[in-house]
A and B are shown apart, each in its own frame.
Chain A
Amino acid sequence: MRKWKILAAAAALAMSAGLAHAADKFKAGFIYVGPIGDHGWSYQHNQGRLAVNKALGDAVQTTYLEKVGEGADAERALERLVRAGNKIIFATSFGYMETVLKVAKRHPEVKFEHATGYKRAANVATYSSRFYQGRYIIGQIAAKMSKKGMAGYIASFPIPEVVRGINAFLLGAQSVNPDFKLKVVWVNSWYDPGKEADAAKVLISQGADILTQHTDSSAPMQVAEEKGIHAFGQASDMIKFGPHAQLTAIIDNWGPYYVKRVKAAMDGTWKSTDTWGGLAEGMVVMAPYTNMPEDVKKMAEATQAAIKAGKLNPFAGPIYDQSGKLRAKKGEALDEGTLLGMNWYVKGVDDKLPK
């Protein structure tokens, strides 16, 4: 009996000590949909959290919950973070949208940040990345580097973000080679190295000599390296997995945004905003251009600079969809709403979207 009492007392002491120590720090919480060991989406968000620690040091304390399911578990996780004293909470997956709104309503004093969603409230901001800007650049590189004029695209799920990426890639490629072909394979997973590798091999044997992916693992990059073709990294720099294969990678760089928002929450200037940042804001970063001739590199850098400066919009007209319908006239560009809910392919994609 005595042992138990001592144990309980020790525990209580440890708890209160922990709380007292933490009380003077500003707390920021994160929930991730995958494991931080996925080396993809959740991994990069966690890198963003670490950037906050680094930038703001002892003034903040960040915590996270990983592998939080997008169902009933998300609400508990958010509520828990609120109760643990977090003043700003980042929910880093689309599927948390309704849950974030529900919890935010109960806790108006806490700021919420929801990634890739479109519903906001006084204390709920949204943020996302214009990855498609990077995809336009890699499309151009692909068209220059591919001998067969065909790329293979390993896609996860047919959501607007992925469809947008496919379209931007092909538009970029077509700006170099109007006849460029694109084959798409959906693996119905964000995260299955084996299946992603299978899809990569299938695409190669169907004639693709350059690979790009919108899934998390670096397995396709390894396949490209082994088969002696080129590929583009996704989410993180995958050069270690394809020292001869990687041309560049589109890196999710959440750090700058997270630092800015946590700072704003700390000094009271936080407002509910809708941020859709790209190359210009540093939320999309291109890995070094490697394994390509100087002229291709020059072109990629010029495109990157033009997009960054706002001179080039990947979705500038004329844009035709698969059925040949004109979606954006010359001199115009697709509007943000269309981009947000994009569910059609541009002309030239060799695939059909599920309706």
Chain B
Amino acid sequence: MTMLQAVLLTIITASTPLLLAAVGELVVERAGVLNLGVEGMMAAGAMAAFAAGHYTGNPWAGVLAGALAGMIMVLPFAFLTQTLATNQVATGLALTLLGLGLSGLLGESFVGQPGVRLPRLHVPGLSDIPFIGPVVFSHDILVYASFALVAAVAWFLFGTRAGLILRAIGVNHAAAHALGYPVIKVRYAAILFGGALAGLAGAYLSLSYTPQWIENMTAGRGWIALALVVFATWRPLRVLGGAYLFGAVWIMGLYVQAAGFGVPSQLLTALPYIVTIVALVIISRNRTLTLTNTPASIGIPFVPDR
């Protein structure tokens, strides 16, 4: 395997969980809901995926359990913010606490156990193409799913009527309600979708990235995913770009270290964050683009006035 192949493979692994969680959160935010609980749902997904894989020996059961756990975790958030119109920022942070706490508690007995690994695709012919084969056709299903989801979400949001409705609700929920659209129901659906994808991102961690469970194994990736949605100005393709930019700078930092140039490791570790800020600054200068894509009613609870 050449160095470039190895670099690309490592970047793909590092970027996939960010991408999965970010695409889910993007739909949530497009519907006008800000859910800061991604880290908690991701941890729950990772733990559930590990547990299901551990008990059944079947990684697919793990994938399913991860997505389900994310959806179950997000239910109280959905009920509180939608039905009871609570503050979304605070409720999301509470969800993070709950998710990290519960996953640590229920996962206690899995610590120190190796998990099952999600199988990698091997397509005879395709996977054997020199260079391209190993880089493109040798991943597990979740990597392809992350790309497919970006495409599907882009198509849904911008190519379907339902997507248009969802975006309309995110921009102005009062107007959407007046037109007769079911604001709360759509938001419930979006939140559950976001939960499922955050759970999948967690499942990727405990089934593929590092097939094991330890407490807090998400290590802040949920927060990065949140930031990436903003970075992408709520556009699916840009989320893809953002996740891979972050992943690439993150991995390159490790390469620069291994090369032994003597750059302080703290600076290299800080680089992905700094690069993301700089890239955002460059992107955001186009004000109209940002404005047209920002879901204006994000974070504002909606209660229909009759």
A touches B (Cβ under 8 A) = yes
Min C-beta distance of B156 to chain A, whole Å? 29
Query: Out of B211, B214, B217, B254, which one reaches A198, CB within 8 Å?
Result: B254
Contact partner, B10, options A35, A38, A184, A202, Cβ 8 Å: A202
Q: Which of B111-138 contact A (CB under 8 A)?
A: 111-114, 117
If A185-B257, A240-B112 are given as contacts, then 18 extra A-B residue pairs at C-beta distance below 8 Å, sorted by A number, are: A35-B215, A37-B215, A38-B215, A184-B260, A188-B269, A193-B217, A194-B210, A194-B221, A197-B13, A197-B210, A198-B10, A202-B6, A202-B254, A205-B1, A205-B7, A206-B255, A217-B214, A241-B212
* Interface residues as binary, A146-190 with B (CB distance below 8 Å gives 1, 0 otherwise): 000000100000100000000000000000000000011111110
Contact B210 A219 (CB under 8 A): yes
> Could you tell me the distance between the alpha carbons of A38 and B110 in the complex, rounded to whole angstroms?
11
Residues A35 and B265 in contact, CB atoms below 8 Å apart: no
Please give me the 7 A-B residue pairs with the lowest Cβ-Cβ distance, nearest first. A352-B262, A205-B6, A186-B265, A37-B215, A193-B210, A219-B210, A192-B219
Is the pair B258, A217 in contact by a Cβ cutoff of 8 Å? no
Q: Quick one: which of B53-111 are within 8 Å of A by CB?
A: 104, 107-108, 111
Partner of A222, one of B3, B210, B255: B210
Assess whether B244 is interfacial by the CB under 8 Å rule.
no
Is A350 a contact partner of B260 (Cβ separation < 8 A)?
Answer: yes
CB–CB A35/B112 < 8 A: no
Chain A interface residue count, CB cutoff 8 Å, equals 41
Asked if B260 contacts A351 (CB within 8 A), the reply is yes
Instruction: Summarize A's interface: helix, strand, loop or mixed.
Output: mixed
Contact of B216 among A35, A350, A351 (CB under 8 A): A35
Inter-chain contacts of A104 with B (CB < 8 A): none
Interface string of A34-49 (1 = CB under 8 A from B): 0101110001000000
Q: Does A18 make an interface contact (CB < 8 A)?
A: no
Q: State the CA gap A158–B1 with chains docked (Å).
A: 32
Bound Cα distance from A43 to B210, whole angstroms? 19
Cα–Cα distance between A197 and B211 once the two chains are bound (Å): 11
Partner of B259, one of A188, A194, A206, A354: A206
Instruction: Tell me, yes or no, whether A60 is within 8 Å of chain B by CB.
Output: no
Instruction: Spell out A's residues near B (CB within 8 Å).
Output: 35, 37-39, 43, 152, 158, 183-189, 191-199, 201-206, 217-219, 222, 226, 236, 240-241, 350-352, 354
Nearest Cβ in chain A — how far from B3, in angstroms? 6
Q: Chain A residues with Cβ under 8 A from B258's Cβ?
A: 152, 183-185, 202-203, 206
CA gap between A193 and B205 in the complex, in Å: 9
CA distance A203 to B254 in the complex (A): 9
Bound Cα distance A183, B262 (Å): 12
Q: Are B212 and A217 in contact (CB under 8 A)?
A: yes
The number of residues on chain B lying at the interface, defined by a beta carbon within 8 Å of a beta carbon of chain A, is 42
Can you list 25 A-B pairs with a CB-CB distance of less than 8 A?
A: A37-B214, A38-B215, A39-B111, A184-B258, A184-B260, A185-B254, A186-B265, A189-B219, A193-B217, A194-B14, A194-B210, A195-B219, A197-B210, A201-B10, A204-B6, A205-B6, A206-B259, A217-B214, A219-B210, A222-B114, A350-B260, A351-B257, A352-B261, A352-B262, A354-B264
Give the residue name and chain of the A residue nearest to B260 (CB): A350
The one of B1, B9, B217, B260 in contact with A194, judged by C-beta atoms closer than 8 angstroms, is B217
B251 partner residues in chain A, CB cutoff 8 A:
198, 202
Q: How far is the CA of A204 from the CA of B9 in the complex (A)?
A: 13
Taking a contact as CB atoms closer than 8 A, the residue among A187, A198, A205, A352 that contacts B3 in the complex is A205
Give the CA-CA distance A203 to B250 in the complex, in Å.
14
Contacts A183-B260, A194-B221, A202-B254; A38 near B205 (Cβ below 8 A): no
Chain B residue, CB-CB nearest to A195 = B219
* Assembled-state Cα–Cα distance A291/B154 (Å): 50
**Chain A CB within 10 A, most for which of B7, B107, B112, B269:** B112
Q: Is B292 an interface residue (CB 8 A)?
A: no
The yes or no answer to B181 lying at the interface (CB within 8 A) is: no
Given known pairs A35-B215, A194-B221, the reply for A188 and B266 (CB within 8 Å) is yes
Chain A residues positioned under 8 Å from B108 (CB to CB):
37
A201 to B10, CA, bound (A): 7
Nearest residue, chain A, Cβ from B255? A202
Give the distance in Å from the alpha carbon of A355 to the alpha carbon of B83 in the complex: 56
State the Cβ distance, B136 to closest chain A Cβ, in Å. Answer: 18
Cβ distance B234 to chain A, nearest Cβ, rounded Å: 26
Closest to A188 in B: B269
Indicate if the CB atoms of B212 and A193 lie closer than 8 Å: yes
Shortest A167–chain B CB gap in Å is 16
Contact of A37 with B104 at beta-carbon distance under 8 Å, contacts A183-B258, A202-B10 already known = yes
Closest approach, in angstroms, between the C-beta of A275 and any C-beta of chain B? 27
Q: Decide: B250 and A198 in contact? CB cutoff 8 A.
A: yes
From A191, A192, A198, name the one whose CB has the most chain B CB atoms within 10 angstroms.
A198
Complex: A222 Cα to B250 Cα, angstroms: 21
| Bound complex: CA A195 to CA B215 (Å) | 15
> Distance (Å) between the CB of A200 and the closest chain B CB?
10
CB-nearest residue of chain B to A40: B214
> Which residues does chain B contribute within 8 Å of A236, judged by CB atoms?
112
B209 at the A interface (CB under 8 A): yes
CB pair A35–B104 under 8 Å, yes or no, is yes
B114 and A240 contact, CB distance less than 8 A = yes
Contact bitstring B245-259, A, C-beta under 8 A = 1, else 0: 000001100110111
Distance in angstroms from B181 CB to nearest chain A CB is 40
The minimal Cβ–Cβ distance linking A45 to chain B, given in whole angstroms, is 14
A177 to chain B, nearest CB (A): 19
Cβ-closest chain B residue relative to A236: B112
